[in-house]
Amino acid sequence: MITSRDLSPYFPSGLMAAMSEGRTFHFYHWDAVAGDRLTVAPDARPVVHWIWSGAVTTQSARITALLGHMEDVVLLVSAEDDFNPAVRIAPTRWIPESRGWIAHFDVPELSAGTTYHYVIERKGRVIWQHAGTFRTFPKGASHLRIAMGSCAATGSNHPVFSTIMQLQPDFFLHLGDLHYEDIAVNEVQLFKDAYHAVLTAPRQAELYRSTPIAYIWDDHDYGPNNSDGSSPSRMAALKSYRAAVPHYPLVSDEEDGSIQQAFSFGRVRIIMTDGRSMRSARSVADGPERTQLGARQLAWLKRELSAAARDYALIVWANTVPWIGEEPNYDRWSGFQYERRAIAGFLEREGIHNVVMVSGDAHMVAIDDGTNNRYGPSGEPLFPILHAAALDRRGSVKGGPYSHGAFPGPGQFGLLEVEDDGGSTIRVTLKGMNHWGEVLVEHSFERAVFPQ
């Protein structure tokens, strides 16, 4: 929307005063020299197209925004909602986009467990309608609420996004299929267009302005349906993710490196694996050669799991596709039975008992308490699993069986809540919810904390 202030350089103040907000005006001026009637083209590019926060830690965050202009733009950040006092942060990186530039603002030196407000200012004008908030993570043991979900039609404006926002989670874990563009050509701008559609959809935009994101892709937002490391759009997907998403530090600095990442909240470690960009082609038979994660990511995952088992009360492994299931299927872990057994065997050998998996892809909320997750050599239950979908797609059930049932449908999401008072046990509650706030499926368990 153009405001009268945008137009003020072009018109006398008397005319400006006659304008009222929210109405359409058609402006022309007469070029006396050329004698032509010309449409005045005031610089109508929005200052802010979209903005979201992520990579939140106890002391830092990243804000990523698509801006219409490069000059005289700063991010104001303040612990006060009137921005008094505020720090002014210049972008650390600019990336061209057909509508303007994607700017990265790295916000350092924050206090733990504190709500911060942020807003873009350009030439002294504050763009209040795109103001956002995030809360830095606490230091030490703390309660945690993660909202999570996956699978939304491109640019969805489903009420589920408002429901999630109202629950005020510490962050929103997006488990993939952020959009369904199924991009099969290697053009970065196509991905940027998809991000634009998602991040300007009103209810999604409002959620992302109020709640920091941690986002890992699945097939439809990485490439075409059921895509893998041979996807023609692979490089564009990797490049646009690095440009548009306020992600945690990636393991790989290389442009073509996969996007797995890990971060901590209190005594909880969150590990997000990239099951797409290193996935073997479908033609590779299930066995030692077929991989969903790739050798480097698998080695990283094992290191992360071992270290987190020692140092954290709980490990949340965000893995997008169904883990449980027997029937071989290339789009699920049941098509990667060799690699699944290898990971399960590793968990057993290392004695890692504090994992919970969260997944998307299947358009359902579902919980298994570990009963049907017996892929290690002992055949004992491995870890509980929560499926959280579909934000806005028709329901479907994949994999399983699930001990607590599977509930297909749109308008659904998951919650993972940790009660942690710093004692020798923590309590974890998994919930599958719908957008009316109803709990469709729930499971709680306690875990002893080692070392104490």
> Nearest distance from residue 409's CB to Fe ion, in Å?
13
> Nearest distance from residue 361's CB to Fe ion, in Å?
5
CB atoms within 10 A of CB 281: 11
What is the size of the binding site for Fe ion (CB under 5 A)? 2
N-to-C CA span, the chain:
56
- Applying the rule CB under 5 A, the residues between 117 and 156 that interact with Fe ion are 151
Residue closer to Fe ion by CB (options 49, 279) is 279
> Nearest distance from residue 390's CB to Fe ion, in Å?
6
> Nearest distance from residue 347's CB to Fe ion, in Å?
27
| Residue 18 to residues 4, 7, 15, 23, 25, Cα–Cα distance (Å) | 10, 13, 5, 11, 11
Among candidates 350, 366, 417, 360, which has minimal Cα distance to 389? Answer: 360
Residue closer to Fe ion by CB (options 177, 304) is 177
Binding flags for Fe ion, 276-295, as an x/- string (CB under 5 A):
--------------------
Residue closer to Fe ion by CB (options 60, 396) is 396
The alpha carbon of residue 174 and the mean position of all alpha carbons in its chain are separated, in whole angstroms, by 4
Q: Label residue 400 left, alpha or beta by phi (over 0 means left) and psi (-120 to 50 means alpha).
A: left
- Applying the rule CB under 5 A, the residues between 393 and 422 that interact with Fe ion are none
Residue closer to Fe ion by CB (options 67, 365) is 365
> Which position's Cβ is nearest Fe ion?
151
> Nearest distance from residue 176's CB to Fe ion, in Å?
7
**Which residue matches tokens 């998809």?**
194
**Residue 177 contacts Fe ion per CB under 5 A:** yes
Residue closer to Fe ion by CB (options 290, 398) is 398
Task: Say how far apart CA 245 and CA 241 lie, in whole Å.
Answer: 5
Do 179 and 219 contact (CB within 8 A), yes or no?
A: no
The secondary element (H helix, E strand) that includes residue 214 is: strand 213-215
CB atoms within 10 A of CB 286: 16
Q: Which stretch binds Fe ion (CB under 5 A): 171-179, 244-252, 259-267, 405-413?
A: 171-179
> Nearest distance from residue 414's CB to Fe ion, in Å?
14
Residue closer to Fe ion by CB (options 177, 420) is 177
Binding region for Fe ion (CB under 5 A) = 151, 177
